Chain A
């Protein structure tokens, strides 16, 4: 079968992918927009089209601000492929996809990867029990099904946590408690970066508003330094201890955890693009130039998948990357390569607050790393801290060798939950840097694929 060919394949229909796909089709490029969700908008604007009709003001202005972009999709003249999983990009830049159990190969002159962010893992004792969810998960339930949990305990720090609690309060849901893990030392570390927040006054005011309401309406416990989730078959409560030694306990069937987001690097890493460890934000990110061009000149990365910047910055980066691709593919359109001072300033301003937020809400090491022997690190394979410590005392030197010793990272999620923790545990054990320690070697397929799906490929398998 002839492969479908496009000028540009965009992977991910969040703010970065959407704005790139729209800009590229307007310039006359043949574009396919691939996304694993049923609707456009990504996680941040999930189900926005439907929610606009439903009148749910509790979701707030930041959510509904994505409306213009999502509405513009009605005039999208490219191919939109929802519920489509990309599982490989080959060395020849062919793209392997699967939709409804059927696999297919596509080809494209340029690829834009806009796969967004995932939540940083929060390995506390009991975090695998039913009833414990990520805050992003709780917010998704709010957006997709108008479902909220009563008397939940929220634990962690960061903008998504505060926004979600604020949305809960706006929706009239009682919140049992908020355990905040931000410590005084983190506030002291960001004083030098505080002036940057003035470049994004709207965000600053939103954050202040969210925290004010949370402190006013919830049992708010600051400086939490240790938590254990209680329960046997499912979560029934949570015990905490603060930095100053104060201890307490709350009962709840719903515990929501969040300590920031990081780029979703599984596809960019499995494609073999160069990555670097970002020391201050504490995550891996693909190496890209100012227009999002990766180490492969035909593959671009835009949005949170290239480094966390939020929805507004992602949309600008998407448009910008599309312009760079248009300039290369269709020089006759006369579109100038972006990179002018004004464009750079705009994009800088859209994430000016990040150096401040990245440092303030980087979880302390005692929250990033498991503290008890029986805490699960690799959720897929049920590998506990003690198992990893045992492997480390057997002279394991890196993340890939660790897989062979204890199976951490070998499950279905392919390290999305445990990778960064395992890396840091190894680095701490060997007293070496995180970039030196490296990450799991990721390989396609980047999402699990059944043999039936692979066998459905009409033509040669990707190599």
Chain B
């Protein structure tokens, strides 16, 4: 079990993991926010083989999740924002490689 040792630096906000609301703190990574709730399984490498964060510094690419509809995001690098939606993903990747242009803001 992960334990909060001292109070987190950022203000509280809410993210959504696999359909459930989860508390997170501004400025922290998606991986840290999920591990705080002891969610350790982030993706499936194959049917019997799941993976979670390993290096926490963007090197190993084990913690890939789908964030706000975009797959293959490194949970240990992505910073949480209020209302962020996170889902587990399976490899080979699912979902669109190029995001739908209508969802892309002013790019």
Contact = CB atoms under 8 A, between A and B. Distances in A.
Interface of B is mostly: loop
Nearest to B10: A50
A146 interface: yes
* Size bin of chain A's contact surface: 35 or more
Interface string A416-441: 11000000000000000000000000
A417 B60 CA distance: 6
A53 B31 CA distance: 23
B107 A149 contact: no
Contacts of A36: 58, 77
Interface string A96-137: 000001100000000000000011000000001111111011
Contacts of A58: 5
B74 to A, nearest CB: 9
Contacts of A173: 3, 5
A189 to B, nearest CB: 29
Nearest to A452: B98
Contacts of A451: 97-98
B45 A128 contact: yes
Contacts of B42: 130
B107 A130 contact: no
A451 B2 CA distance: 37
A282 to B, nearest CB: 18
Interface string B41-55: 110011001111111
A344 interface: no
A149 B2 contact: yes
A336 interface: no
Nearest to A50: B9
Contacts of B29: 144-145
A382 interface: yes
A90 interface: no
A380 B33 CA distance: 24
B3 A54 contact: no
Contacts of B97: 450-452
A145 B32 contact: yes
A118 B59 contact: yes
Nearest to A264: B59
Contacts of A347: none
Shortest Cβ-Cβ A-B pairs, 3 listed: A130-B52, A137-B56, A130-B40
Interface of A: 36, 38, 43, 47, 50-51, 53-56, 58, 101-102, 118-119, 128-134, 136-138, 140-142, 144-150, 171-173, 233-234, 253, 264, 379-380, 382, 411-413, 416-417, 447-448, 450-452, 456
18 contacts: A38-B27, A43-B57, A50-B9, A54-B7, A55-B6, A130-B41, A133-B53, A133-B56, A134-B60, A142-B5, A146-B7, A147-B4, A411-B61, A417-B59, A448-B61, A452-B97, A452-B98, A452-B99
